[in-house]
Structure 1
């Protein structure tokens, strides 16, 4: 039986690459995006390669669109096999200088969107006794970084949400949970994050300026160290996502590069893929 996959945030970056990769490997792909008018690049590939893919509207900050998307898939296929919670937004700005609207937006987009999309598919995955929820998290979900406290806070929340969920839905309902944790990605996501930092961040003045300048200089240095492969392409991260989706016994968490692995080592060395901790929690509570 062919599996289907719902992917959020597919207009560009990792989501776009995931949609193409799953489609080329004979999945039925529901490529969702907040604004389907931005799907022309994906439509062109669908037509040229005759991929079994449908572009559908879904805004992870709008519960009605989430439910409509899930309901439409169930009406057509009767099931959802894989959910890739990819939609997210970069943000680099101090909490002191962020507005209430920005704080709620970064939390809604990067964390609550994952929660509500997951909540929408769980009843159907439970019924079919099978499913896989893959969250595009980040090394920022394991390691806090300067000027990224709001983004990291949201990704830390994703990590905790997934870890807790995995302690009981996997054994009871055969629903697997995986967090994919990239480092830097050279996509529009990164460009957007930099724009939010430098243009809207208003960090070019005030007491944060010396710290911010050191931070940005370090970013530029890492970006130029190509031999260390700090920044991956969206395609490279998508390959990890697809590999996880094919895995019958996937890890709870996986980094996508050597740099990401090294960066998180102090947090992950005792339990790199998260499975030991999940097993310990199950033994303690269940």
Structure 2
């Protein structure tokens, strides 16, 4: 029987590319997205290449939606081999100028969704004594960045949550956990991030505006001068995700490019893949 994989956020970008790539490499793919109206690109690819992909509705901010998708897969296959927590959204706005609704939204999409999807699959992986949870996080889960504090906070939370979970479920239940940490990605994720920053037509106002303008100018300069080094395509990140899924002993953490590796070096140099710390935590607490 094929290994199957549940992927969240598959309408565009890394999720779309991962769905196609995993199917081409012999996996049964359950590609999920909140809005099925955005499934046309994936449907076209399924038909074109005759891919073993089933599209399901799943909103990571809705636990009933998550449960329905997971139960649908269990009823059909009796198992879930891999969960790829990919759904996420960028957000750049000052803490002062973000609304309560926006703060809850960025946390729900980027952190709570990961927790609730993981919570939904863990009972089945535990019973089958096997499974793998892969999370597309970000260098922003290791390094805080200007005007991205709310997004980075949510991604830091994912990193801490998975690090703690890995200290006991991996050995006890043969469940592998990995965080895939890209830098910039040239996908609709970036467009979405910009779209979520506007405050009455501006990205920042008042005393924050000149700082934000300097930040944006720096981003544009880096994008122009070193686009190939900084920004990866969705398929490049998807290839890293596939390599993690095919690894018998996958790392807890892996960056997806040299730029991402260099960017996080001060945080990761002593323990690049997170293995040393997890082993230390296990020996200290268990």
Q: TM-score, normalised by structure 2?
A: 0.98
Q: CA offset at residue 199 of structure 1?
A: 5.8
Q: Does residue 40 in structure 1 map to residue 40 in structure 2? A: yes
1:85-113 superposed Cα distances (whole Å, 9 cap, x missing partner): 00000000011001100000000000000
Q: CA offset at residue 26 of structure 1?
A: 1.1
Correspondence 1:5-154 to 2 at 5 A: 5-154=5-154
Q: CA offset at residue 225 of structure 1?
A: 2.2
CA distance in 2, matches of 1:22, 1:200: 42
CA distance in 2, matches of 1:89, 1:181: 14
Match of 1:219 in 2: 219
Tell me the SS of whatever aligns to 1:208. helix
Change (3 A) 1:48 1:227: closer
Q: CA offset at residue 203 of structure 1?
A: 3.5
Match of 1:284 in 2: 284
CA distance in 1, matches of 2:270, 2:150: 27
1:241-264 superposed Cα distances (whole Å, 9 cap, x missing partner): 000000000000000000000000
Change (3 A) 1:62 1:41: same
Tell me the SS of whatever aligns to 1:270. coil
Match of 1:168 in 2: 168
Q: TM-score, normalised by structure 1?
A: 0.98
Q: CA offset at residue 29 of structure 1?
A: 0.2
Contact preservation (8 Å) 2:94, 2:204: no
Q: CA offset at residue 200 of structure 1?
A: 5.9
Contact preservation (8 Å) 1:97, 1:201: no
Structure 2 residues without counterparts, runs of 5 or longer: none
Tell me the SS of whatever aligns to 2:207. coil
Match of 1:195 in 2: 195
Q: CA offset at residue 222 of structure 1?
A: 1.1
Q: CA offset at residue 82 of structure 1?
A: 0.4
CA distance in 2, matches of 1:108, 1:197: 17
Structure 1 residues without counterparts, runs of 5 or longer: none
CA distance in 2, matches of 1:209, 1:73: 48
Change (3 A) 1:245 1:108: same
Q: CA offset at residue 195 of structure 1?
A: 2.1
CA distance in 2, matches of 1:80, 1:204: 43
More deviation, 272-281/219-228:
219-228
Q: Does residue 255 in structure 1 map to residue 261 in structure 2? A: no
Q: Does residue 4 in structure 1 map to residue 4 in structure 2? A: yes
Tell me the SS of whatever aligns to 1:207. helix
More deviation, 167-176/43-52:
43-52
Change (3 A) 1:201 1:151: farther
1:111-148 superposed Cα distances (whole Å, 9 cap, x missing partner): 00000000000000001110000011000000000000
Tell me the SS of whatever aligns to 2:254. strand
Q: What is the alpha-carbon root mean square deviation over aligned residues?
A: 1.1
